């Protein structure tokens, strides 16, 4: 079945709707984001969202500024015909055109959700292994990243909150800059195998890969 795909900026309301309905977290990140929408045959099918990432030091490993690196934090799509990899590929080009200084994008796939990063593999992202385990704090009936907890509470208050250690995620890198690409390729690891329940280019409701919670703005 053929389809006409359109990629353009999405409103906050549209992105919020997509994340709540079509992403496994059921929520949109709280900070300013780059929200790129997808339409198929004129029908809104979801969003791909970029931010600065959960780590304030994400840029250090690439020796770039915070404004030259971003994180893909949400892929929230409903039923569609176009392969996810094609939607993502066009969204990345759209993002780069609007942010010409951008040099690298990072994303994570959460194995605890059955995700292995198939959509990144299909798009040629470089796999660099597992991220470090993180500490999460139980705040307002949900587990939150340490960054969020530090913003809300003092050290003494955090000591009173329930906390847990969560295992790392599969980390993928998409360099726009050829020099960075060569450096990242030196530490590349073999792609992890996909789980039986995940299809790399599933045309139906997307499996929800992609998304640590971002902390600060990349683009209004």
190-211 confidence digits (pLDDT tens): 999 875 444 444 433 344 555 5
pTM: 0.77
Same domain, 117 and 212: yes
Same domain, 123 and 138: no
Q: What does the pLDDT look like over 86-97, one tens digit per residue? A: 999 999 999 999
Which comes out higher in pLDDT, residue 103 or 64?
Answer: 103
**Which pLDDT value is given to residue 54?**
65
Q: Which domain holds residue 149?
A: 133-167
Strand partners, 36: 9, 48
Q: Look at the chain and count its residues.
A: 220
3-state secondary structure of 133: coil
Task: Say how far apart CA 90 and CA 38 lie, in whole Å.
Answer: 10
Q: Which tokens is 113 given?
A: 């959700």
Task: Say how far apart CA 51 and CA 72 lie, in whole Å.
Answer: 6
Give the chain's domain count: 2
Q: Token match 């726009």: residue?
A: 176
Same domain, 103 and 44: yes
Q: In what order do the strands lie in the sheet with 142-145?
A: 142-145, 134-139, 163-166
Strand partners, 170: 109, 130
Phi, psi of 94 (to 5 degrees): -60, -45
Same domain, 72 and 2: yes
Which comes out higher in pLDDT, residue 69 or 210?
Answer: 69
Highest mean pLDDT among 30-34, 94-98, 154-158, 214-218: 94-98
What CATH code is carried by the domain that includes residue 96?
A: 3.40.630.30
H helix or E strand, kind and range, residue 174? strand 170-175
Same domain, 159 and 190: no
Whether 215 has a pLDDT exceeding 80, the answer reads no
Q: What does the pLDDT look like over 106-121, one tens digit per residue? A: 999 988 878 899 999 9
Whether 220 has a pLDDT exceeding 50, the answer reads no
């Amino acid at each position: 079945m053929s389809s006409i795909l359109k990629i353009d900026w999405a409103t906050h309301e549209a992105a919020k709707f997509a994340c709540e309905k079509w992403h496994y977290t059921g929520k949109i990140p709280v900070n300013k984001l780059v929200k790129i929408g997808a339409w198929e045959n004129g029908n809104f099918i979801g969003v791909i969202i970029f931010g600065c990432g959960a780590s304030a030091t994400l840029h250090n490993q690439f020796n770039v500024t915070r404004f030259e690196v971003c994180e893909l934090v949400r892929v929230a799509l409903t039923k569609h015909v176009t392969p996810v990899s094609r939607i993502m590929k066009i969204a990345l080009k759209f993002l780069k055109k609007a942010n010409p200084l951008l040099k690298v994008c990072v994303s994570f796939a959460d194995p605890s959700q059955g995700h292995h990063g198939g959509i990144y593999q299909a798009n040629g992202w470089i796999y660099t292994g597992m991220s470090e385990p993180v500490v999460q704090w139980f705040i307002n009936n949900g587990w939150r990243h340490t960054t969020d907890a530090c913003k809300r509470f003092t050290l003494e208050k955090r000591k009173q909150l329930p906390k847990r250690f969560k295992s790392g995620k599969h980390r993928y890198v998409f360099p726009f800059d050829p020099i960075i690409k060569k450096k990242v390729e030196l530490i590349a690891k073999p792609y992890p195998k996909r789980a039986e329940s995940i299809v790399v280019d599933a045309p139906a409701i997307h499996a929800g890969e992609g998304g640590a919670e971002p902390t600060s703005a990349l683009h209004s």
